[in-house]
Chain A
């Protein structure tokens, strides 16, 4: 066991954990915005797949990961618009329309992949950008400050979204709409517009989450490559108590334990691999079960708003 607590292992866990957490952060913070405005979007996984595909395809055709990122963001917004239309304008059951959106994204991204590419290829995605001075900090510098731009962006999103949600008028409107849409409406807040904005923002970030896999971290597209990450992102929003900082805590816990369990296997610690693989899930559930402070979700979460009702 002692060989697990050596410097190279800890540095390795830090590096891998931060990379693993990146797509979860984008997707879960985007979902935080949607849910804080009262919309439960279960289609994150489908949007991620569409973002991963469009980011990869445009990145491959143009040779520019930046254009790929833009494409993923635009496709994410379009998917968000679709979800908004179905769940806000048409007031469909949010849980079910989200599952529909997931299947739509899964099917469409696979279909587009087959018709346009037909086989797995790899590209040059965003390169690691080493931040001078900071990356020279002994031991942890290389793990923290030698990543591609999307990794930094994901972590910068945490303070940024905390600030937007808690310190700006927009944030106040979002929280009001998610907590008590009737009251917000009487005060002149356009509930529909705020919800559209939040779901589209969530869609954009989910699209970028997918692109962070396909053009920054793994640099290829494979059918269904997100493999359930979008659903874990939705769970992370609950885990984090609808706060970006809490979401980051959950994403990092899950990712660090995942990186840790791989080191257990690499170091040949004698426990069955099945136990190691279960660790991140078990620990996340335990952390959730024993978290003392119960966060309350937005009161109007998953309830469509119709003027004049109630």
Chain B
């Protein structure tokens, strides 16, 4: 029994090491380097929420002068909140200057951890709550106004749809996905009031198979323009490609997955926010600011797929919508 038990222990340890091996560990570096750590629910290659933030960090790192000026450590696939909380605490105790908890589900944990590390700045999103009301001063918060890009892409989808049936598929009816999906719906209906917009949720951020089936269902119901949110939409994009329907992406530019099917994507550019947070921390302000990504501050960008021709009047309508959102004439 004893030897059997030790075999099992060895096996578990080996497996754990392998899994842990996937997350790059931080190495000790001189303290002049600005050290950023990020904990995220999916992977840096998810074509969505996590990738947008990771690529933003890389871009800022390159601008600041590479790894000698800024160090990035990351922990991905932290879909379990207790694991994420442990990682956040770990990074804070290792002396990271800024620890980003990239998921609204991490908020409660962050509220408990942040007061223990007053010399570390934390950030989390999507939310605008910096916990200042609770007396915590070292937390930043950020949120993408996903409904803005949703609205603009909805305008484009409505104008390009032939069947006037549009399908939207999200993970859960909450947060960033809800903002985006409702904004998109508003954009469609403002352009074509008689269009039919159907919405499905799969209940999961990672169920690629069910997301593909959701797209299949929308197309079978007559939709020719589809959109959706979360990292699992990669499954839906493939179905659009196979069935000849078109797709609109959000969070990250999803064109590369299906150049024949993706018309445009709303891309999150977090670099402005990241730079401001770093400048704040360097100036001694460790938190208390809530940031938003908008068209106005350059945090939201519509990336058209160059391989698909979008008529000039459609692009003009999209630009008009952006202008109207910027001056407040439209509130998606």
Q: Is the CB of A274 within 8 A of B173?
A: yes
Q: Which of B43, B198, B204, B221 contacts A227 (CB 8 A)?
A: B204
**Contact partners of B86 in chain A: CB under 8 A:** none
User: Which residue in chain A gives the minimum CB-CB distance to B210?
Assistant: A258
Look across to chain B and name the residue whose beta carbon is closest to the beta carbon of A104: B15
Give the contacts of A219-233 with B (CB-CB under 8 A): 219-220, 222-225, 227, 229
| A218/B212 contact (C-beta < 8 A), A16-B217, A122-B241 known | yes
Note all chain A residues with C-beta closer than 8 A to B256: 119, 121
Would B217 and A259 count as touching, CB distance under 8 A? yes
Indicate if the CB atoms of B198 and A223 lie closer than 8 Å.
no
A223, A229, A266: the one within 8 Å of B217 (CB): A266
Name which of A11, A16, A118, A229 has the most chain B CB atoms within 10 A of its CB.
A16
Is A122 within 8 A of B258, CB to CB? yes
Q: Does A301 contact B (CB under 8 A)?
A: no
A-B contact count (CB 8 A): 157
A106 within 8 A of B: yes
CB distance from A278 to the nearest CB of B (A): 8
Least CB distance, A39 to chain B, in whole angstroms: 16
A91-B8 contact given A218-B212, A227-B204, CB 8 Å threshold: no
Pairwise interchain contact B77-A110, C-beta atoms closer than 8 A: yes
Q: Which residue among A111, A114, A227 has the maximum number of chain B CB atoms within 10 Å of its CB?
A: A227
Residue of A nearest to B204 (CB): A227
Does residue A136 face the partner (Cβ distance < 8 Å to B)? Answer: no
Q: How far is the CB of B251 from chain A (nearest CB, A)?
A: 13
Instruction: Give CA–CA (A66, B43) in the complex, Å.
Output: 29
Given contacts A91-B4, A224-B77, contact A15 B216 (CB under 8 A): yes
Of the candidates B7, B213, B237, the one having the most CB atoms from chain A within 10 angstroms of its own CB is: B213
- Residues on the A chain within 8 Å of B195, using CB: none
Q: Does A120 contact B (CB under 8 A)?
A: yes
State how many residues of chain B have any CB contact under 8 Å with chain A.
50
Nearest CB of B to A105, in Å: 9
Most chain A CB within 10 A, of B12, B45, B206, is at: B45
Other-chain contact of B18, A90, A92, A103, A265 (Cβ < 8 Å): A103
Return B204 CB to nearest CB of chain A, in Å. 7
Residues of chain B lying within 8 A (CB to CB) of residue A107: 15, 18-19, 21-22
Contact assessment for A220 and B238 in the assembled complex, using a CB-CB cutoff below 8 Å = yes
Question: Is the CB–CB distance between A267 and B43 below 8 Å?
Answer: no
Contact B213 A16 (CB under 8 A): yes
Instruction: List residues of chain B with CB within 8 A of the CB of A272.
Output: 173
Cβ contact within 8 Å between A92 and B213? no
Q: Which residues of B contact A288 (CB under 8 A)?
A: none
How many Å lie between the Cα of A88 and that of B225 in the bound state? 53
Known: A119-B45, A121-B257, A218-B238. A96 touches B203 (CB 8 A): no
* Residue numbers in B under 8 Å from A227 (CB-CB): 204, 206-209
- A276 — which chain B residues lie within 8 A by C-beta? 201
With beta carbons under 8 angstroms apart, the residue of A16, A20, A223 that contacts B43 is: A223
Measured CA separation A208–B208 after assembly (Å): 17
Residue-wise, chain B 219-249 has the 8 Å CB interface mask toward A (1 for contact) of 0110000000001101101110100000000
Beta-carbon contacts under 8 Å, A78-114 to B: 86, 90-93, 96-97, 100-101, 103-104, 106-108, 110-111, 113-114
Whether A266 lies near B21 (C-beta < 8 A) is no
Q: Please name all residues of chain A whose beta carbon is closer than 8 Å to the beta carbon of B15 when the two chains form the complex.
A: 100-101, 103-104, 107
**A20 adjacent to B213 (CB under 8 Å):** yes
Q: Is the CB of A15 within 8 A of B238?
A: no
Q: Which residues of B contact A277 (CB under 8 A)?
A: 201-203
A55 interface residue, CB < 8 Å from B? Answer: no
For this complex, 29 residue pairs linking A to B, each with C-beta atoms less than 8 Å apart, are A8-B221, A12-B217, A86-B7, A92-B8, A92-B11, A93-B4, A93-B8, A104-B15, A104-B18, A107-B15, A107-B18, A110-B22, A110-B43, A120-B234, A122-B237, A217-B212, A218-B209, A220-B208, A220-B257, A223-B77, A224-B206, A227-B209, A229-B209, A262-B217, A266-B167, A266-B198, A267-B198, A274-B201, A277-B203
Q: Which residues of A contact B (CB under 8 A)?
A: 8, 11-12, 15-16, 19-20, 23, 86, 90-93, 96-97, 100-101, 103-104, 106-108, 110-111, 113-114, 118-122, 213, 217-220, 222-225, 227, 229, 258-259, 262-263, 265-268, 272-274, 276-278
Residues of chain B touching chain A, judged by Cβ–Cβ distance below 8 Å, are 4, 7-8, 11-12, 14-16, 18-19, 21-22, 43, 45-47, 77, 167, 173, 198-204, 206-210, 212-214, 216-218, 220-221, 231-232, 234-235, 237-239, 241, 256-258
19 other A-B residue contacts (CB within 8 Å) besides A217-B212, A258-B210, A268-B198? A11-B220, A16-B220, A86-B11, A90-B4, A92-B7, A92-B8, A96-B12, A122-B237, A122-B241, A122-B257, A220-B235, A222-B46, A229-B209, A258-B213, A259-B217, A262-B202, A267-B198, A273-B201, A278-B203
